[in-house]
């Protein structure tokens, strides 16, 4: 193909060589750019090395340097071939610590009381546990934290128609003077029909404030609804384990 006597080959016109002189290129000094790139790359490599070193420190195998010696509860070394038997024995000893028969579990966070037997839950009950509030007597400086205690307890007493003997904090909380006559401390109308004592003045008992069941409002005792309280009172015997968490 020809255009005005010149060869047309695709996008380039052939035959104009020598008419337009090519622009002279000034040699650019970009050495600083290469130095900068080099520094950045070196820093990245060093940083990656540091991270790898740190990573390896954090993922070293446990007990790599120490010889493992297994001892029994009396401090005697256990032969490796007897480890399986020793483990089975330990598991048996642990199972012996578990409560026998029915036991009560109290979840203070969710305000629930469970009657359980082994791993089975026999009844799920709504309760009110400790509020966690703090009371300070401005006169004596004594403080009380109204929290339900945690751990393992047992039913130590069972009372029909319990009477609450109001402790000092009950009067301080109401801003009333602490009575000198102990008869003025008795209140027969607040604990419901039954109470199960678990020690240190803590009880599982009834409540007047049934619509607050499921909330943390008590002074440390565990409040239950009438039907649940009656069921628990009739089911739990003296010595029944009570686990609180």
Partner 1 sequence: MRLLLTIFLVCLLWVPLAAADELAELAQTNRLLQAEFELAKSQKLYFVFDLQASEILFKVSGVTVAKLPILSLRSWGRPADGIAYTLANRTARKEPEREKIAIPDGQEEEKPKAQPAPPKPGEAPKAPEVQALEITDMPTEYTLQLDDGTLLTVRSTLSDKADFKEKLRYYYEKYSWFITRPLISISHHRHGNTYNEMLLTLPEREARMLYWSFQEGGRCLVHWP
Judge residue 138's burial from the number of C-beta atoms within 10 Å of its C-beta, 0-12 exposed, 13-18 middle, 19 or more buried.
exposed
Establish if 74 lies at the interface with partner 1 (CB under 8 A).
no
Establish if 170 lies at the interface with partner 1 (CB under 8 A).
no
Establish if 142 lies at the interface with partner 1 (CB under 8 A).
no
Establish if 57 lies at the interface with partner 1 (CB under 8 A).
yes
Contact present, 73 and 206 (Cβ < 8 Å): no
Pairing of β 120-128 and β 222-224? antiparallel
Secondary element (H or E) of residue 198 = strand 194-199
Q: Which of 152, 157, 184, 235 binds partner 1 (CB under 8 A)?
A: 152
Residue 129 among the catalytic residues: no
Contact present, 40 and 46 (Cβ < 8 Å): no
- If you ran DSSP here, which 8-state letter would residue 124 be given? E
Contact present, 232 and 196 (Cβ < 8 Å): yes
Residue 219 among the catalytic residues: no
Candidate ranges 28-36, 66-74, 158-166, 226-234; the one touching partner 1 (CB under 8 A): 66-74
Q: Give, as ranges, the residues between 196 and 225 that touch partner 1 (CB under 8 A).
A: 208-212, 215-217
Establish if 63 lies at the interface with partner 1 (CB under 8 A).
yes
**7, 59, 205, 219: the active-site residue:** 205
Residue 125 CB, shortest distance to partner 1, in Å, is 15
Tokens of 92: 């048996």
Establish if 100 lies at the interface with partner 1 (CB under 8 A).
no
Strand order in the sheet with 222-224: 151-154, 241-244, 102-107, 112-117, 120-128, 222-224, 202-205, 194-199, 157-160
Residues that bind partner 1 (CB under 8 A): 50-55, 57-63, 68, 70, 72-73, 78, 80, 83-84, 86-87, 90-91, 93-95, 97-99, 105, 107-110, 119, 131-136, 138, 145, 150-152, 172-176, 208-212, 215-217, 241, 243-245
Which residues form the catalytic set? 205, 221
């Amino acid at each position: 193909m020809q255009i005005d006597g010149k060869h047309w080959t695709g996008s380039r016109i052939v035959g104009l060589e020598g008419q337009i002189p090519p622009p002279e290129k000034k040699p650019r000094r970009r050495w600083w750019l290469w130095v900068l790139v080099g520094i950045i790359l070196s820093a990245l490599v060093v940083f990656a090395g540091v991270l790898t070193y740190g990573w390896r420190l954090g993922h070293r195998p446990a007990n790599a340097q120490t010889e493992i010696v297994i001892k029994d509860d009396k401090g005697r070394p256990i032969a490796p071939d007897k480890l399986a038997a020793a483990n089975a024995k330990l598991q048996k000893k642990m199972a012996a610590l578990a409560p026998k028969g029915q036991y009560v579990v109290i979840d203070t966070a969710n305000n629930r009381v469970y009657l359980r037997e082994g791993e089975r839950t026999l009844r799920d009950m709504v309760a009110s546990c400790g509020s966690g509030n703090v009371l300070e007597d401005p006169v004596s400086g004594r403080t009380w934290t109204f929290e339900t205690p945690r751990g393992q307890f047992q039913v130590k007493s069972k009372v029909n128609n319990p009477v609450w003997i109001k402790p000092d904090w009950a009067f301080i909380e109401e801003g009333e003077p602490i009575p000198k006559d102990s008869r003025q401390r008795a209140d027969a109308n607040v604990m419901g029909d039954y109470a199960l004592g678990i020690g240190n003045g803590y009880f599982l008992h009834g409540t007047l404030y049934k619509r607050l069941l499921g909330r943390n409002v008590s002074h440390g005792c565990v409040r239950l609804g009438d039907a649940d309280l009656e069921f628990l009172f009739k089911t739990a015997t003296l010595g029944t384990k009570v686990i609180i968490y």
